[in-house]
Amino acid sequence: MMDDAAKPTAMETLLATLDLEPIEVDIFRGRSPQVGWQRVFGGQVIGQALMAAQRTIEAERFVHSLHAYFMRPGDPSVPIVYQVERIRDGSSFNTRRVVAIQHGKAIFALSCSFQIEEPGFDHQLAMPDVLMPETLLGEQQIKEQYLAHAPAAVRKYWERERPIEIRPVSLTHYLSDKKLDPRQDVWVRATGPVPDSRHYQAAVLAYLSDMTLLDTSLYAHGTSIFDQSLQVASLDHSMWFHRPDKLEDWLLYTQDSPSACGARGLTRGSLFTRSGVLIASVAQEGLIRKKANE
C-alpha cells in the first residue's frame, strides 16, 4: 500500500497526465487521473491536446492561440487518443489541428497556431485593482469557516486536492442566491513546481484556464454550477498566449460574462501576473440549461 510520502502530489499527477505517450507518428495517448470524476475535466483535454500539438513543432516556436470545441464528455476510465494534423509549416507560423478520440468517436477538436519569437508593438490593458491573495482566505480557512454549512456539491469541490489553488476575491457567490454582477476576480497558482519548459507552462496555463469560467455566467441569475437543477458544460474554448510566464507565483484571473441567452453563457477572462503583466486572454461559451422536470 502506498504511503502518503510516496503518493504523488496533485501537480505531479497533472504533469504526468500531460506527458503523453507517443504511439505512432503524430498520434499520442493520454490518460486521466483516477480521482472519481464522472467525466474528464475540460482543462485536461485542452492541455493534453496542446501538448500533442507542441510535440510536432520545432523547439523555438511557441503557441500564440488555440480554439477548441467540446463535442462529447470524456470517459476518465479509458485512454484518450490524440491525432495531430500538420496543417501548415510556414517561415513564421505553424498551424496544427488535433482531434481527441475515445470509443471510436471524436470527443474534442482543437486548432492552434505557433509563431517564432519576434519584436513588435507592445501594449496591454491594466490589471484591475483587487485585494492581493495574501489578504484573502486560503483554501484551508475556507474549508474551516464556510464548508460545514455549504451544500454537498460545494464541499466536495473544495475538499478535493487540486494542482491549482484558487482564492476568489469574493465568496458571496458560493454562499448566497443573490443576483450579482456577472464578473469575478480569482487568484490562482500552481500547487507545485512547473517544469522550466515553455511547452509545459503553456499546457498548465491552458489547463487552469478552464477553471471557474462557466460559473461567472451564472452570477447574474443567483445560482452556480453546483445547482443540481442545471445542466452545465463547456461548449468551446479560445485562448491567446501573449507573454510567457513560469507560473511560479499567483495569477489574477479576472472574468466577465457579457451575455447569456439560448441556454448558453459567454465568459471572457484575462490572466495577469501579480505585477500586472497580461499573459493570456480567454473566451468560453458554455451550456447552461435547466434540466427537464423528472
The answer to whether 66 touches 284, Cβ cutoff 8 Å, is no
Residue 14 lies in a domain: yes
Annotated active-site residue in 185, 210, 227, 245: 210
DSSP conformation class of 6: T
Is residue 126 in some structural domain? no
In a domain, 229, yes or no: yes
Amino acid (one-letter) located at 110: L
User: Into how many domains does the chain fold?
Assistant: 1
pLDDT tens for each residue of 46-93: 999 999 999 999 989 999 999 999 999 999 999 999 999 999 999 999
Q: For the packed helices 42-54 and 10-18, what is the interaxial angle rounded to 10 degrees?
A: 50
Which alpha helices (H) appear in the chain, and where do they start and end? 10-18, 42-54, 139-146, 152-159, 172-175, 198-208, 213-216
Distance CA 99, CA 25 (A): 14
Q: Active site includes 48?
A: no
User: In this structure, is residue 3 part of a structural domain?
Assistant: no
* CA-based nearest residue to 188, from 79, 282, 63, 80: 282
Residue 121: inside a domain, yes or no? no
Least confident of 194-198, 202-206, 228-232: 228-232
Which tens digits make up the pLDDT trace of 177-187? 889 899 999 99
210 classed as catalytic: yes
Residue 101 lies in a domain: yes
pLDDT in tens, 237-265: 999 999 999 999 999 999 999 999 999 99
Q: Does 240 fall in a domain?
A: yes
- Lookup: cell for 32: 486521466
Active-site option among 111, 217, 234, 257: 234
- Among 184, 209, 224, 284, the active-site one is 284
Q: Is 234 a catalytic residue?
A: yes
Residue 186 lies in a domain: yes
Q: What is the pLDDT of residue 156?
A: 67
3 confidence band (pLDDT: 50, 70, 90): low
Residue span of the structural domain in which 154 resides: 8-115+132-288
At 98 the pLDDT is 98
Does the pLDDT of residue 206 top 60, yes or no?
yes
Per-residue pLDDT band at 155 (split at 50, 70, 90)? low
User: Could you tell me the CATH number of the domain that includes residue 17?
Assistant: 2.40.160.210
pLDDT band, very low/low/confident/very high, at 5 (cuts 50, 70, 90):
low
